[in-house]
Amino acid sequence: MPVAGAEPRSPRAERARASIAEALLSLIDEGDLQPTANRIAERAGISLRLIYHHFGDLESLYREASRIQLKRLLERFVPVPPDLPFDERLTAFVEQRARLYDWQTPVRRSAMIMEHSSRTLQQARSFGRTAATLEFDSPWNWKIMVENFMESYHHIGPHAGSLQLFNPAFGTYATDDAGAFSILENPPVAGADSFVVACIFPLTLIAVTESATPWALWYEFDRIEHHRFLLRIHLLTRPELAAQPELVARYAEQIRHIHLEDIPVCEGVQRGYRSPLYASGPLSHLEGGLWHFHRYLQRCFAS
């Protein structure tokens, strides 16, 4: 995810940053829980100077490593088939959780050891307190909500006065298609904050901002029927931010405002599907997340 207000980086620079962050994570995985910058440079096969050239400081490197770690975690996540008997689903769920926690342990221990000197790691470890929950009765098919969530092309329309000003449609792109999830980047214009949205197929929707006051949004679906569901948007943040009612209320109002802009779009798409004039068309390069989701659905229907 690009740093707020930063200039876009070249693909080569992005690859270099990723290889440095992966060097850090590989050292931690092998038991070096406090790798020095020299060790990271040695593992990455570059000079120490290049680490600071690409990241400026170790905080930025930790931020990139946290992002890669989340991606690696998502890659290990395998949805449990919902049609299995309950006992088998429970066993599969518990076994997977145990494997994920086991795999995550070295990075978690490392963050615990180093967080006293790193605000980034403090934030990463204390993230996740529910600050507020918004509810919306949603009279449309849940897949329309997922589609709306996984493309930011529509910022140019219903969000012309909000998101489009800070995270314009044209700069957005999907980065992952690992079969079970998709990630959509929303780079900022100068001075704004970036955010990333992720869908673990079929309907775990998460959005994360990168800013001095970071937030995550979890879109939870309930009472799923063919054409109606209850949407709960959970606002998650660090405990000290969750304890500030005015801050939480202000952010909740922003999120409510943005979702109110999305409601007519989702309702319109639902009506459009019923129209005899409906016809599918090609997706643009700004709709990579939709393409991933459609391929997932295709695989489900094929099987």
Q: Which residues would be at the binding site for Fe ion (CB under 5 A)?
A: 262
Nearer to Fe ion, 64 or 262 (CB): 262
The count of other CB atoms within 10 Å of the CB of residue 268 is 13
Tell me if residue 285 falls in helix, strand or coil. Answer: helix
CB of 142 to Fe ion, least distance (A): 16
CB of 188 to Fe ion, least distance (A): 16
CB of 282 to Fe ion, least distance (A): 21
Query: Which residues are bridge partners to 4 per DSSP?
Result: none
Nearer to Fe ion, 80 or 269 (CB): 269
Cα dist. 177→274, 280, 291 in Å?
Answer: 30, 22, 9
Closest residue to Fe ion, judged by C-beta, is: 262
Nearer to Fe ion, 55 or 140 (CB): 140
CB of 9 to Fe ion, least distance (A): 26
Nearer to Fe ion, 185 or 262 (CB): 262
The count of other CB atoms within 10 Å of the CB of residue 132 is 18
Nearer to Fe ion, 79 or 264 (CB): 264
254: left (phi over 0), alpha (psi -120 to 50) or beta: alpha
DSSP state of 156: G
CB of 201 to Fe ion, least distance (A): 19
- Alpha-carbon distance of 198 to 291, in angstroms, equals 14
CB of 159 to Fe ion, least distance (A): 6
Q: 231-257 burial string, b = 16+ CB within 10 Å, else e?
A: bebebbbbeebbeeeeebeebbeebee
Nearer to Fe ion, 262 or 287 (CB): 262
- Alpha-carbon distance of 177 to 180, in angstroms, equals 8
